[in-house]
């Protein structure tokens, strides 16, 4: 059962990452005026780096049940949890708690913790 919960956490992590990316494109960058253009490109790239990191964490959570090492399982859950924790805190702080993003990220942390 723990393995299934970890895999659900991985799927949720990937979903949160993809929604974050799409909302960034449609809600944030479509309205933002950032000059010079090089800076806009840089900020755009950094935004999507977190998406790639969160998708990688989701993949790790999905394959964690296949890992034979208990220590590796522990560290995968801890690192992915920490990654989502700082993102959830940053999201809650930046939006003053008005975004559901930090709640979705916290759900991933809770699922990963429950699956551990």
Domain that holds residue 62: 2-115
Number of Cβ atoms within 10 Å of the Cβ of 104: 18
**Ordered alpha helix ranges (H), 1-116:** 2-23, 37-63, 70-94, 101-115
Number of Cβ atoms within 10 Å of the Cβ of 46: 9
- The domain total for the chain is 1
pLDDT tens string 63-93: 999 988 889 999 999 999 999 999 999 999 9
- pTM of the entire structure? 0.87
């Amino acid at each position: 059962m723990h393995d299934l919960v970890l895999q659900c956490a991985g799927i949720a992590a990937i979903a949160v990452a993809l929604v974050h990316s799409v909302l960034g494109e449609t809600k944030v960058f479509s309205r933002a005026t950032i000059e010079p253009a090089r800076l806009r490109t840089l900020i755009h790239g950094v935004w999507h780096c977190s998406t790639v990191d969160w998708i990688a964490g989701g993949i790790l959570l999905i394959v964690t049940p296949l890992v034979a090492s208990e220590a590796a399982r522990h560290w995968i859950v801890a690192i992915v949890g920490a990654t989502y924790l700082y993102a959830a805190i940053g999201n809650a702080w930046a939006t003053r708690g008005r975004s559901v993003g930090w709640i979705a990220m916290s759900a991933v942390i809770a699922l990963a913790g429950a699956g551990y």
